[in-house]
Structure formats: structure tokens, C-alpha cells
């Protein structure tokens, strides 16, 4: 209850034009000081950076909240596999219960490993290691035979050395009011983006000229899959129907807009990001179809009805980006096959 009230309150201050008060600004100054101190410790050698014998590719963002990072990770892993790499994903597993390091697989309990790791494991069929200690997770992946480690949401985890950094950002929302947490959405100063090798921008159609190193990323709907099986369905098959749209993600309105663009009449049910769903959340007094995100579906499969469908969301990246990424990776050898 507290989080469902606090999150909209903060978002209005971050993106809605409501000025944050003095308390939030004071806390943001303290947070910025801590971030600067920690960053300087790693760059100055006072804290150790651990490097691996395989390339490490970090994907993350500078802002708190949804920006399309998980679809980007999935697209990157699928591309790397197609290029002959054996990638593995190291992730913290945000919102999970407990801290024991675990492997996330397609049928893992999302409460134990996190919802996003389960989605990545389902979509990519690669090793996914969940551990707050990213260095330990990366080493486990290498020991499991991976010749490239992709660190999910790892920009701020400097302890793990990296070879390529990719920032994912919403081109319209940008950095909000430009302030650090909690007065604004920033985990690090905006200038941190200049150090990233690539920047993937959603909603980039609203940006006339992308700067060097920045590439458009389109978020597009995939197939809708019944939570209890059955043939996948194109989103267009729901056109003209009235459905319940359920989303517990960083930006529910983006999911709702995708459904409306397909001509679907929505009854919207927005929850906070990483919401812990229960059967009561889907107890609707009708027989309408329920459409939800993949991330929500992995937490609802146990109690969902056969009217529930999960919509896959894909990230489309340009050939120019993939060419640039391949060029950067061309100097790294792979493990023997």
C-alpha cells in the first residue's frame, strides 16, 4: 500500500512538473555525494575491479524505473547466440525473496529468483545466474561454459570489470527533472552516459537527429501466449474485443498504448513495478480475456484462468547497431568449441 502511493507521488516530481521539496533535494545531494565518492574509489584504485577472461557486456540505465531494458537484454542475447557466442546473463533478480545465489530457468519460482530472470531464461534458453554479487555470478557463468557475460542492470556495479557498456533510455522521458534520487530519477549524473559505448533509445522517433553512439530501439508486440498453453495468437486477433489489461511494470501506460494501437478496448489495471500478484488481483466478475505482460505472467501462472494471455514484447534494434557491436566484439576470442 505504501509503495503504491509513494511511487506515483515520486513520479509526479520526477516527470510531472511538480517541484521536489527541500527534504528530497537534501537527500538527493547526500545520494549524489555517496555516488561520486564510490565512483572515485573504483576509478582511483582504492576499490578493486575484477576482470574476467571473457568479454563482459553491461546493459543498464541511469534512471530508476522501466525503460525497455529487459527486451533489450533478450534481443542482445538472441543476437549473440546467432553469431556463435555462448552468452550467459548475470543479474541481481530485483524484488526476489532471499539472497541465496540461484540459477534461473524457465520454470523457476519468480519469487525466488525474480520475474525478469525467469522471462530471460524462458525467451533465451541461456544460463542465467541470480546473485547480488555480480562478480561471483559472472564467474559461475564462465565456469558453466559461457564465453561472454551480459550483466543485466549493471552500469552502477563497478566491481565487475566491463568491456562494453550499453545505456537504455526513453528518448521522451529522458532524465526527467535531471536530479538524483530521490528528488529525481537519476542513479548517476547525466554525464555518465558519455562514458557508455552505446545508447539505445526507445521512442526515438521523436528525436530528429541521434548523436553518435546512439541508436533507435523499437518496442514491438510479439505473440500472445495462453498461460495454460495453446497455440500462440497474434495480437490482432483480439482487435475489437474488450479485455482486462494487467500491467505491473515500470510504465504500464506503454503496455496499454500497445494494446490500444491494436484496436483493443481496454479495462486497465495498473500495478507498481514488480508487484507481487495474488489470485485476487485477477478476480474479475466477467468472462473477458485478460492480457498481461510476460513479466507479470510468470508470477500469475499458478492461479490464472485459461482466459489469461501473456503478450511477448520484443526490442527491434537496427542493423547499424548490430554491426557496430560486432565490430567491438571482433577482437575478443571465444572459448574452444
- Name the nearest CA neighbour of 181 among 16, 12, 24: 24
Dihedral (C-alpha) 202, 203, 204, 205: value to the nearest 10 degrees?
150
Chain-centroid distance of CA 91 in Å reads: 10
Q: What is the mean pLDDT of the chain?
A: 93
- Name the nearest CA neighbour of 312 among 322, 323, 298: 298
- Average pLDDT in the 139-165 region? 97
pLDDT band at 336 (very low <50, low <70, confident <90, very high): very low
**pLDDT > 80? residue 333:** no
pLDDT band at 4 (very low <50, low <70, confident <90, very high): low
- Name the nearest CA neighbour of 20 among 193, 176, 187: 176
Residue range 173-216, pLDDT digits in tens: 899 999 999 999 999 999 999 999 999 998 887 777 888 899 99
Q: What gap in Å lies between CA 92 and CA 59, rounded to an integer?
A: 13
**pLDDT > 60? residue 35:** yes
- Name the nearest CA neighbour of 100 among 67, 142, 133: 133
Confidence (pLDDT) at 28: 98
Beta strands in 211-275 (DSSP E): 214-226, 233-234, 242-247, 265-270
Residue range 230-263, pLDDT digits in tens: 899 999 999 999 999 999 988 888 899 999 999 9
Q: What gap in Å lies between CA 25 and CA 180, rounded to an integer?
A: 8
HSE, side-chain direction, 13 A CA sphere, residue 192: 25
- pTM (2 decimals)? 0.92
Tell me if 245 sits within 8 A of 255, measured CB to CB: yes
- Average pLDDT in the 249-278 region? 92
Q: What gap in Å lies between CA 145 and CA 152, rounded to an integer?
A: 18
**pLDDT > 60? residue 94:** yes
Does domain 2-216+317-329 sit in CATH 2.10.25?
Answer: no
Residue range 123-149, pLDDT digits in tens: 999 999 999 999 999 999 999 999 999
Q: What gap in Å lies between CA 108 and CA 314, rounded to an integer?
A: 22
Q: What gap in Å lies between CA 142 and CA 53, rounded to an integer?
A: 9
Confidence (pLDDT) at 214: 94
Tell me if 178 sits within 8 A of 190, measured CB to CB: yes
Tell me if 68 sits within 8 A of 255, measured CB to CB: no
Tell me if 289 sits within 8 A of 262, measured CB to CB: no
- Average pLDDT in the 1-11 region? 75
Amino acid at each position: 500500500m505504501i509503495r503504491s502511493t509513494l511511487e506515483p507521488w515520486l513520479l509526479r516530481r520526477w516527470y510531472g512538473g511538480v517541484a521536489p521539496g527541500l527534504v528530497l533535494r537534501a537527500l538527493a545531494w547526500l545520494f549524489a555525494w555517496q555516488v561520486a565518492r564510490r565512483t572515485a574509489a573504483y576509478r582511483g584504485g582504492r576499490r578493486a575491479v575484477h576482470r574476467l577472461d571473457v568479454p563482459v557486456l553491461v546493459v543498464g540505465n541511469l534512471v530508476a524505473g522501466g525503460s525497455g531494458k529487459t527486451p533489450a537484454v533478450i534481443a542482445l542475447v538472441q543476437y549473440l547466440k546467432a553469431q556463435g557466442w555462448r552468452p550467459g546473463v548475470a543479474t541481481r533478480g530485483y524484488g526476489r525473496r532471499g539472497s541465496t545465489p540461484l540459477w534461473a530457468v524457465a520454470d523457476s519460482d519468480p519469487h525466488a529468483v525474480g520475474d525478469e530472470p525467469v522471462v530471460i531464461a524462458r525467451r533465451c534458453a541461456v544460463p542465467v545466474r541470480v546473485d547480488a554479487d555480480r562478480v561471483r555470478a559472472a564467474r559461475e557463468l564462465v565456469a558453466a561454459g559461457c564465453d561472454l557475460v551480459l550483466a543485466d542492470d549493471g552500469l552502477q556495479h563497478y566491481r565487475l570489470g566491463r568491456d562494453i557498456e550499453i545505456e537504455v533510455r526513453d528518448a521522451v522521458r529522458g532524465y526527467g527533472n535531471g536530479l538524483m534520487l530521490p528528488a529525481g530519477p537519476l542513479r548517476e549524473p547525466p554525464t555518465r552516459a558519455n562514458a557508455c559505448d552505446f545508447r539505445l533509445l526507445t521512442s526515438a522517433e521523436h528525436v530528429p537527429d541521434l548523436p553518435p553512439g546512439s541508436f533507435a530501439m523499437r518496442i514491438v508486440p510479439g505473440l500472445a501466449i495462453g498461460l495454460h498453453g495453446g497455440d500462440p495468437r497474434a495480437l490482432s486477433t483480439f482487435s475489437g474485443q474488450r479485455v482486462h489489461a494487467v500491467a505491473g511494470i515500470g510504465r504500464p501506460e506503454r503496455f496499454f498504448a500497445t494494446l490500444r494501437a491494436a484496436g483493443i478496448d481496454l479495462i486497465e489495471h495498473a500495478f507498481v513495478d514488480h508487484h507481487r500478484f495474488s489470485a485476487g488481483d485477477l478476480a474479475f466478475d466477467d468472462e473477458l480475456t485478460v492480457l498481461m505482460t510476460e513479466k507479470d505472467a510468470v508470477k500469475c501462472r499458478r492461479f490464472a484462468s485459461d482466459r489469461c494471455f501473456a503478450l511477448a514484447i520484443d526490442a527491434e534494434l537496427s542493423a547499424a547497431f548490430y554491426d557496430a557491436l560486432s565490430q567491438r566484439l571482433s577482437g575478443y576470442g571465444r572459448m574452444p568449441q
